[in-house]
Structure 1
């Protein structure tokens, strides 16, 4: 079962450079990285509404979630997703697809290590160990090699 989740994660990661490439091309048509992000999020929202209507049937829980969730919970997809997507649109033409993915993954790993180390957002703690540190350092070394040549 772990293999399934690993493969699902790899597949999810594989769509990111495609999404960034497509949205960068969209920026050329809209002449704005912000409008391109808006279009991307709008289409994604429409797809999610359709999927939700087809698969989710306990709509009373939505109101409960809105009323009881902490204020910061709403930043996940909206503001943070916008920062990620729009920066990728701006970075890809300058860095190329591979380096754009690598630098954003390195940023994700730094934040993920901090979240794991301190258990932020009420998540379980996974302490930094030498193997994890070496893995992150190797990723940054990979970025160095990619941008150097």
Structure 2
């Protein structure tokens, strides 16, 4: 089962540069990275809504639970997703696909280590140690290698 999850994670990671490239081209055609993000999120929302109706037959009956959630949960992920997607659209034409992906991945890893270190969002604490710090430094070196060559 772990192998399947890792393969799914690998696949999910592989589609990010595809999404970034497609949305960047869309942004150029529409002459706005913000409209491109809006179109991408709207199409994604419609697609996810259809998948949810198929995969979750009780989709509407559970909707009332939304009103009991804290506001930061309801709006946080979506707003942060807009920042990430729009940043990718803005960065790709200037940095290229590889550097855009590796620099945003470095940012993701730095934040992930902070979340692990401090147990934010009730995540189990995984303290920063030498090997984890070395991993970040190697990723930082990777940013410089990709940028140089």
Listed one character per residue, the Cα deviations across residues 4-30 of structure 1 (whole Å, up to 9, x for unaligned) are: 111111100000000000001101211
Structure 2: 5+ residue runs without aligned partners? none
CA RMSD in angstroms, aligned pairs only: 1.1
C-alpha displacement of 1:124: 1.0
Does residue 1:42 correspond to 2:42, yes or no?
yes
Alpha-carbon separation, structure 2, partners of 1:5 and 1:130: 27
Distance 2:23 2:126 in 1: 35
Task: Report what 2:120 is aligned to.
Answer: 120
Q: Distance in 1 between matches of 2:55 and 2:145?
A: 45
| 1:87 lines up with 2:109 in the alignment | no
Partner of 1:15: 15
Residue 148 of structure 1 and its aligned partner are, at CA, apart by: 2.1
Structure 1 length normalisation: TM-score?
A: 0.95
CA deviation vs aligned residue, 1:27-48 (integer Å, no higher than 9, x gap): 1211100000011001000001
Give the total of aligned pairs: 148
Name structure 1 gaps, 5 residues minimum. none
Instruction: Determine the structure 1 residue equivalent to 2:64.
Output: 63
SS in 1 for 2:47: helix
Query: Within the alignment, does 1:78 sit opposite 2:75 as a pair?
Result: no
Distance 2:98 2:141 in 1: 14
- Cα distance in 2 for partners of 1:88, 1:49 equals 24
Q: Distance in 1 between matches of 2:118 and 2:82?
A: 25
d(CA) in 2 for partners of 1:113, 1:86: 23
Cα distance in 1, alignment partners of residues 146 and 44 from structure 2 = 32
Q: Which residue of 1 aligns with 2:129?
A: 129
Go from structure 1 to structure 2 and tell me whether the alpha carbon gap of 1:128 and 1:121 turns closer, same or farther (over 3 Å shift).
same
**What's the offset of the Cα at 1:77?**
3.4
